Amino acid sequence: MGCFFSRRRKPALGGQQQQQQQQQAGAGQDAAPGEQKAPQYSWDLRAKIDPKDYTFSGLRDETVGRLPGKVAGQQFVIQDCENCKIYIFDHSATITIDDCVNCQIFLGPIKGSVFFRDCKDCKCVVACQQFRTRDCRKLEVFLCCATQPIIESSTGMKFGCFQYYYPELALQFKDAGLSIFNNTWSNIHDFTPVSGENNWGLLPESAVVQDYVPLPSSEELKAVRISTDAAKSIIPITRGQRQKNSDESCLAVFFAGDYTTANARKLIDEMTSKGFQLVQTKEVLMKAEDAHRVFQQSASEFIPLLEKGPVVALEFNGDGAVEQCRSTINEVFSGTKVFVSESKASASQDVDNFYNFADMQMGM
């Protein structure tokens, strides 16, 4: 529908108002007599985006990067680089990496997709909404990906769980619209499988990020206060698709509130310090009918809490996981409503019920 504007006669301006308007309109008024100066609009005054500021191209044997705040949600392009160390310590809209060889790359949170094409022998740390490769060979990636990662016409791919920290990273995840609890790093979909061959696998559990993508050596990038200690990682380290050590798991679900993330991190620390393994995490919105499916008999207790926002679910694995998880929650979170599996017998069904629901909700 079009918009219609009526013409209104402007009221006469007083002397001071007239002078102010002339100063605003006439700053730098050097138009020829009889010519009208083109009006200036707010979008003309915005800083112009120079694509060169958001591109690394044709580099050899260099260390380059962008500090926090320097990309600020723009798109970024990395292409035709060889033997380079590349660090994007900021959030971005999308990133494409084309024709790169033997590069070590860190990419901060990406709101949309990261797409590797025709790359080989690269080592990367990546956080994104969507991850895809095409025609790549021998990429080793520590990954946080909200959706199922996809490889196409790619071989020798290895994946590990994203583990990284610097002070600005948590806010960058928020600015990129990514949850630290939604990470399907090991649930790879091979778009072009070859019968009898496996085009991808998992990095060793003992793999250390710094051995793959070392800390930057340039003076400018050293200003970023990085830790690659897995215990400090902004993303909880999960086992993913690796085989579980025990046939006993436990589901714990925190409900939205001021301390949901802190509480979930606290329980992870408590359980992992006692030798239990974090298998998977998820942050997702639930409705009343979902609660009945997942929480069953105790659903009515938790349904009123669902209106506050998404829940955070954690699966722990290990002999005695249920007993230890219930004990920890009673001791540490006594004033907080938390769903936790009641017994080893029910826990397996709890885990299946929740993650089947969550995968459907997120279109996995």
Distance, CA of 52 to CA of 60 (rounded, Å): 17
**Which SS3 state, helix, strand or coil, does residue 279 take?**
strand
The H or E element that residue 312 is part of is strand 311-317
Joined together, the tokens standing for residue 215 give 């800390």
Joined together, the tokens standing for residue 200 give 């991808």
112 phi and psi angles, rounded to 5 deg: -110, -120
CA of 327: how far to CAs of 13, 41, 111, 177, 330, in Å? 76, 63, 38, 34, 5
Q: Please give the DSSP secondary-structure letter assigned to residue 301.
A: H
Residue 132 in marked binding region: yes
Axis crossing angle, helix 344-361 with helix 321-332, rounded to the nearest 10:
80
55 phi and psi angles, rounded to 5 deg: -145, 135
Among the listed residues 77, 278, 310, 260, the one whose alpha carbon sits nearest the alpha carbon of residue 163? 278
Distance of CA 349 to the CA centre of its chain: 29
Among the listed residues 93, 105, 123, the one whose alpha carbon sits nearest the alpha carbon of residue 62? 105
Distance, CA of 340 to CA of 253 (rounded, Å): 6
Question: Strand (E) positions, 135-173?
Answer: 137-145, 150-152, 157-161
Residue 130 in marked binding region: yes
Binding residues for GTP: 112-113, 129-132
Binding residues: 112-113, 129-132
